[in-house]
Structure 1
Amino acid sequence: MKLEDLKNPSMIKNYSKSELEGLAEDIRTFLIEKLSETGGHLGPNLGVVELTLALHYLFDSPKDKFIWDVGHQAYVHKILTGRAGQFDRLRQYKGLCGFPKRNESEHDVWETGHSSTSLSAAMGMATARDIKGTDDKVVAIIGDGALTGGIALEALNHIGHEQKDLIVILNDNEMSIAPNVGALHNVLGRLRTAGKYKKAKEELEQLIKKIPAFGGKIAATAERVKDSLKYLLVSGIFFEELGFTYLGPVDGHDLDDLMENLKYAKKTSGPVLIHVLTKKGKGYEPAENDAKGTWHGLGPYKIESGEVVSKPGPPSYSSVFAETLKTIARTDKRIVGITAAMPGGTKLDSFAKEFPERMFDVGIAEQHATTMAGGLATQGLKPVFAVYSTFLQRGYDQVVHDICRQNLNVVFAVDRAGLVGADGETHQGVFDISYLRHLPNMKILNPKDENELQHMIYTATQYDGGPIAVRYPRGNGYGIKMDEQLKMLPIGKWETLQEGHDACILTFSTMIPVAEEAVRQLSTQGLSVKIVNANSVKPLDEEFLLELATLNIPVLTLEEAALQGGFGSAVLEFFHDKGYHNMEITRMGIPDYFIEHGSVPELLEEVGLTSAGVAEQMLKLLPRKQQRA
Structure 2
Amino acid sequence: MGLLAGIRSPEDVRRLTTAETTALAAEIRRFLVQEVSRTGGHLGPNLGVVELTIALHRVFASPRDTIVFDTGHQSYVHKLLTGRQDFSALRKRGGLSGYPSRAESEHDVVENSHASTALSWADGVAKANHVKGETDRTAVAVIGDGALTGGMAWEALNNIAASDRRLVIVVNDNGRSYSPTIGGLANHLHTLRTTRGYEQFLEWGKRALHRTGAPGRFAYDWLHGLKKGLKDVVAPQGMFEDLGIKYVGPVDGHDVVAMEHALRRAKAYGAPVIVHAITEKGRGYTPAEQDVADRFHAVGQIHPETGLPVAPSRFGWTSVFADEIVAIGRRRPDVVAVTAAMLHPVGLAPFAAEFPDRTFDVGIAEQHAATSAAGMAFGGLHPVVAVYATFLNRAFDQVLMDVALHKAGVTFVLDRAGVTGDDGASHNGMWDMAMLRIVPGLRLAAPRDEPTLRAALRQAVDVDDAPTVVRYPKGALVDPVPAVEELDGVDVVARHAATGDVAAGAGRRVLVVGVGSLAGTALATGEALAAHGLEVTVAAPTWVLPVPEALVKLSGEHDLVVTLEDGVVDGGVGAMLAQRAGEQGIVTPHVHVGLPVGFLDHASRDQVLAAQRMTAADATRDALTALALL
**TM-score (normalizing by structure 1):** 0.92
Equivalent residue letter for 1:588? V
Partners of 1:163 and 1:243 within 8 A in 2: no
Q: Which residue number in structure 2 is paired with residue 598 of structure 1?
A: 603
- Give the 3-state SS of the residue equivalent to 2:250 in structure 1: strand
Equivalent residue letter for 2:465? G
- Give the 3-state SS of the residue equivalent to 1:320 in structure 2: helix
Q: Which residue number in structure 2 is paired with residue 541 of structure 1?
A: 548
Partners of 2:6 and 2:12 within 8 A in 1: no
- Give the 3-state SS of the residue equivalent to 1:235 in structure 2: coil
Q: Which residue number in structure 1 is paired with residue 369 of structure 2?
A: 369
Once residues 227 and 565 of structure 1 are traced to their aligned partners in structure 2, the CA distance between those partners, rounded to angstroms, is 61
Q: Shift of the alpha carbon at 1:205?
A: 12
Once residues 185 and 469 of structure 1 are traced to their aligned partners in structure 2, the CA distance between those partners, rounded to angstroms, is 31
- Give the 3-state SS of the residue equivalent to 2:373 in structure 1: helix
The answer to whether structure 1 residue 611 and structure 2 residue 583 are counterparts is no
Q: Shift of the alpha carbon at 1:229?
A: 4.4
Q: Shift of the alpha carbon at 1:535?
A: 2.2
C-alpha spacing 1:10/1:467, structure 2 compared with 1 (3 Å) = same
Once residues 487 and 72 of structure 2 are traced to their aligned partners in structure 1, the CA distance between those partners, rounded to angstroms, is 40
Once residues 375 and 493 of structure 2 are traced to their aligned partners in structure 1, the CA distance between those partners, rounded to angstroms, is 40
The within-5 A match list for 1:53-452 is 53-85=54-86, 87-134=87-134, 135-195=136-196, 227-235=228-236, 237-311=238-312, 313=314, 315-452=315-452
Equivalent residue letter for 1:76? V
Once residues 544 and 252 of structure 2 are traced to their aligned partners in structure 1, the CA distance between those partners, rounded to angstroms, is 52
Q: Which residue number in structure 2 is paired with residue 495 of structure 1?
A: 491
Q: Percent identity?
A: 40
Query: Which whole-Å deviations, capped at 9, do the CAs of 1:80-109 have from their partners, x for residues lacking one?
Result: 111102x10100012110001112110002
Partners of 1:492 and 1:538 within 8 A in 2: no
Where structure 2 has 5 or more consecutive residues not aligned to the other structure, the ranges are 210-214, 497-507
C-alpha spacing 1:71/1:544, structure 2 compared with 1 (3 Å) = closer
Equivalent residue letter for 2:580? F
**TM-score (normalizing by structure 2):** 0.92
Partners of 1:204 and 1:226 within 8 A in 2: no
Q: Which runs of 4+ in 1 moved over 6 A?
A: 198-207, 221-226
Partners of 1:126 and 1:166 within 8 A in 2: yes
Q: Which residue number in structure 2 is paired with residue 622 of structure 1?
A: 627
Superposed CA RMSD: 2.7
Equivalent residue letter for 1:495? D
Once residues 205 and 125 of structure 1 are traced to their aligned partners in structure 2, the CA distance between those partners, rounded to angstroms, is 41
Once residues 244 and 460 of structure 1 are traced to their aligned partners in structure 2, the CA distance between those partners, rounded to angstroms, is 46
Of residues 561, 564, 588, the one that matches 1:558 is: 564
Once residues 463 and 343 of structure 1 are traced to their aligned partners in structure 2, the CA distance between those partners, rounded to angstroms, is 24
Once residues 299 and 195 of structure 2 are traced to their aligned partners in structure 1, the CA distance between those partners, rounded to angstroms, is 35
Partners of 2:197 and 2:234 within 8 A in 1: no
Query: Which whole-Å deviations, capped at 9, do the CAs of 1:562-608 have from their partners, x for residues lacking one?
Result: 0121111101221232233x421111100121112111111111101
Q: Shift of the alpha carbon at 1:482?
A: 11
Once residues 200 and 447 of structure 1 are traced to their aligned partners in structure 2, the CA distance between those partners, rounded to angstroms, is 60
Query: Which whole-Å deviations, capped at 9, do the CAs of 1:351-391 have from their partners, x for residues lacking one?
Result: 00111111111111111111111111001111100111011
Equivalent residue letter for 1:170? V
Once residues 370 and 615 of structure 1 are traced to their aligned partners in structure 2, the CA distance between those partners, rounded to angstroms, is 40
Q: Which residue number in structure 1 is paired with residue 22 of structure 2?
A: 21
C-alpha spacing 1:331/1:552, structure 2 compared with 1 (3 Å) = closer
Once residues 491 and 147 of structure 1 are traced to their aligned partners in structure 2, the CA distance between those partners, rounded to angstroms, is 49
Q: Which residue number in structure 1 is paired with residue 501 of structure 2?
A: none
Q: Shift of the alpha carbon at 1:179?
A: 0.9
Query: Which whole-Å deviations, capped at 9, do the CAs of 1:229-277 have from their partners, x for residues lacking one?
Result: 4323423521111111111111111112111111111111321111101
C-alpha spacing 1:13/1:492, structure 2 compared with 1 (3 Å) = farther
C-alpha spacing 1:544/1:391, structure 2 compared with 1 (3 Å) = closer
Once residues 410 and 154 of structure 2 are traced to their aligned partners in structure 1, the CA distance between those partners, rounded to angstroms, is 27
Equivalent residue letter for 2:547? L
Q: Which residue number in structure 1 is paired with residue 583 of structure 2?
A: 577
The within-5 A match list for 1:10-49 is 10-49=11-50
Q: Shift of the alpha carbon at 1:164?
A: 2.4
Once residues 226 and 31 of structure 1 are traced to their aligned partners in structure 2, the CA distance between those partners, rounded to angstroms, is 42
Where structure 1 has 5 or more consecutive residues not aligned to the other structure, the ranges are 213-218, 484-489
- Give the 3-state SS of the residue equivalent to 2:457 in structure 1: helix
